[in-house]
Structure 1
Amino acid sequence: MDMSSTERGARAHGYLFTETEHNDTYAAIDPTKVNLSGKRVLVTGASRGLGREIAMSFAKSGASGIALLDLLDVATTAGNVVEAAKEAGRPPPEVIQLTTDLTQFALVQQAVDLVASKWDTVDILINNAGSYESLGSSEPEKWWRNFEVNVKGVYLMTRTFLPLLVKSKDKTILVLSSVGAHHTLPGGSGYETSKLAVLKLNSYLMAEYGHEGLLAYAVVPGGVKTDMISGFPQQFHHLLSDTPRMVADTIVFLTKERRQWLAARYVDSRWDMPELLAKKDEIVERDLLKIGLRI
């Protein structure tokens, strides 16, 4: 049956790719059913919001080491992580607290030196830290901050932690993108264009380091209410109905094993994960979920 124009438009923006979509966590992605014992994970933007929730989900999954990086103090998240592990019946992970401006190369290098003094490898890097500034009402420096955090920060974290990543078995880098990377939402010029840029960066990571076993792909959080919504146009706040826990649990589910077929692809956390995995052959055969021009 042919799709309607509405359905085609929705699919073009990533909606309806799986028959089932979610706004909250569900049994299939329960992190307490995962065993990430022995894995070491680094999460940026970890002081609050999605970053804190992601770190807690990894703790529930039994990850042995969780590094928390943010411009703000991450002590509260560190406590949340330990408590989440205990509540899930998992050993408390080794937590490394990194108060760092990830847009400054020298500071990021200090962070990697500290991590390297404690760990031989980093298995999974979650580039979650983000900034949102709109175009019309912004000051130029604030608008450019989108690219400083969302692109330069991802680049610096990836560049400096690559030596630790490529020594691990997982070698996984995951970046938080946005559904807005694929359409134009008034007010999102700085944020959405920077979130499109990191998809292309992942393509280059696979082109340049795929032969070393690196795996890089993107996850979209959907519409989540975080501290960044102050810059998000008020008329679209009703779209922010997805829970941080769903996004966090989806990320743990995806990274619980190496899924090489996801390299340089884009995954929406609202998609039903079992249904997504069932579409693997179609995704690979048709080379779906990647950016590029089709004519």
Structure 2
Amino acid sequence: MDPNHGYGFTPTTHNDTYAAIDPERLNLSGKKVLITGAARGIGREIALSYAKAGASAIGILDLLDSTPVEKELLEAAKAAGRPTPDVASLRVDVTSATSVARAVQILRSKFGSLDVLITNAGYLTPYTSLGDSDPDKWWRSWEVNVKGVYLMTRYFLPLVLKSQDKTIIVLSSVGAHHTMPGVSAYETTKLAVLKINNYLNTEYGSQGLLAYAVAPGGVRTDMANGFPSEFHHLLSDTPQMVADTMTFLTQTRLEWLAGRYVDSRWDMPELLGKKDSIIKGNLLTIQMRV
């Protein structure tokens, strides 16, 4: 793989979860978490990972019905020997300010604050060259992947800033760093959200906000199956690995990750071991080099 895509940033890389990030070895007691796109796929696995890690409150938002996931979260927490989490599932359209604002009102009443907000909901435009694309479908990627992140962060910021951890994780993609023909809408949105993270840290870092991006790698989800079949062999990473990576990263506040990009396939202990060189070189950020 092209080293400029960052895949080999740590000597060890993974395709599946591993002992160091096992959520059952972590203690996230007291933390309140909210995940979008949580009815299935990666979002569902993120919620399950937090349940196994002992999160006290878990909000699951999706355009689809996510109530079946509620039972799974309670069962996962019980199997891991954790206290029963307070779970809230809401049907929310992240592209609608009215829908998101309504969700804020409900979760403010139920949770009071949010330690971790994870914007996972996404959309992949059908694979086609830019000149042959359907304008409405092309723009739908920006509606979900960028406007959705904007609305969730804009409306939920007060709840995040009221918490102890004040953390926002935006799902990006390795696609933010390369140009693959046929996915212009998706890849440009995943670059755009990295800039949104910069603004979150710049404008609210003085209030304690910590925002960074995590790329899931190649996970075979319903959305990713929209890629042409010749690329499906690249979809070899498990959603559990992605989920456990985020749970691991949010067990404590890693303030030096502010505004940075993390690939979930990297070995997390090795990443933490590179902290000093990352800070010194201002690595894992979007910038012009001249």
Q: Normalising to structure 1: TM-score of the pair?
A: 0.95
Is 1:269 matched with 2:264? yes
Q: Write out aligned runs for 1:1-295 (5 A).
A: 10-133=2-125, 134-136=127-129, 138-295=133-290
8 A Cα contact 2:225 2:232, kept in partner: no
Displacement after TM superposition at 1:138 (Å): 3.9
Q: 1:243 & 1:293 partners in 2: Cα distance?
A: 33
Look up the SS of the partner of 2:2 in the other structure: helix
Aligned residues: percent identity? 64
Look up the SS of the partner of 2:11 in the other structure: coil
Number of positions where the alignment pairs a residue of Structure 1 with one of Structure 2: 287
Q: 2:243 & 2:92 partners in 1: Cα distance?
A: 22
8 A Cα contact 1:72 1:99, kept in partner: yes
CA deviations 1:16-73 (Å, max 9, x no partner) are 1000000000000000111111110000000000000000000000000000000000
Amino acid at match of 1:270: R
8 A Cα contact 1:135 1:190, kept in partner: no
Residue 6 of structure 1 corresponds to which residue in structure 2? none
Q: 2:7 & 2:64 partners in 1: Cα distance?
A: 34
Q: 2:89 & 2:11 partners in 1: Cα distance?
A: 40
Gaps of 5+ in 2: none
CA deviations 1:97-116 (Å, max 9, x no partner) are 11010100011000000001
Q: 1:194 & 1:185 partners in 2: Cα distance?
A: 13
Look up the SS of the partner of 1:292 in the other structure: coil
Amino acid at match of 2:215: V
Q: 2:89 & 2:54 partners in 1: Cα distance?
A: 18
Q: Normalising to structure 2: TM-score of the pair?
A: 0.97
Look up the SS of the partner of 1:125 in the other structure: strand
Displacement after TM superposition at 1:135 (Å): 3.9
Q: 1:285 & 1:227 partners in 2: Cα distance?
A: 40
Displacement after TM superposition at 1:75 (Å): 1.0
Amino acid at match of 2:288: L
Gaps of 5+ in 1: 1-8
CA RMSD of aligned residues (A): 1.0
Look up the SS of the partner of 2:202 in the other structure: helix
Displacement after TM superposition at 1:229 (Å): 2.2
Look up the SS of the partner of 2:99 in the other structure: helix
Amino acid at match of 1:215: L
